[in-house]
Amino acid sequence: MTRPRETDAPQTAGTRQVSRLPVIVLVVGMGLAAALVLIGANLAAQPVASPPIGEPGTAAQPRAVTVIMREYHFDPTPLYLFRGETIRLTVVNAGMLEHELVLGDESVQSQWAILDAAASSGAPFATAPPPSAPAGIGGLRIVLPSGGSTSALYEVPAQGNVLLLCNLPGHQERGMVGEVVLQSR
């Protein structure tokens, strides 16, 4: 006669033992997902090197340039441009927040910073209404919501300097400042 072991749980009619396999698979899957998110966040924080720029663009054949905006940085950085060239700038907002790209000298940047601050609600993460800009500010300004993209033609000034900034309140303070390197033809 076989005696039941003390470790065996008594089973009553109509009950069955539940498998722990789905719980284990879920926990392992969640751990893997968290690890991938952390790896992706680390890779996204590293600046992307600018590709070689080749020949300057012209009005007839603008050079294609792409800038990706993310949370508080621009890719690529530095952005290499030729003085006096025409580029077709494609801008993509790959961040979770609205971002702005302004190309222009100190005067252009200052004017957009003032207009953005005046139009901002001041609430964190609030979408500011578009500022009303007087004619003749110059430069190039593109504002995109998360996931947005657009293209525009831009003639790089032959003289002076060009800054790449996001003038939305708080964005520069968090590091959303790009570097522009101007090369002579």
Q: What share of the chain is helix, strand, coil (3-state, %, to 5)?
A: 20, 25, 50
Average pLDDT, the chain: 83
Q: What is the pLDDT of residues 72-94, one digit of tens each?
A: 999 998 999 999 999 999 999 99
Q: What is the pLDDT of residues 140-158, one digit of tens each?
A: 999 999 999 999 999 999 9
Q: What is the pLDDT of residues 20-35, one digit of tens each?
A: 888 888 888 887 877 6
Q: What is the pLDDT of residues 100-130, one digit of tens each?
A: 999 999 999 988 888 888 777 665 555 555 6
List 65's β-bridge partners, or say none.
Answer: 89
- Binned at pLDDT 50, 70 and 90, residue 50 comes out as low
The residue whose two tokens read 């959303």 is: 176
- Provide the pLDDT for residue 166: 92
- Binned at pLDDT 50, 70 and 90, residue 13 comes out as low
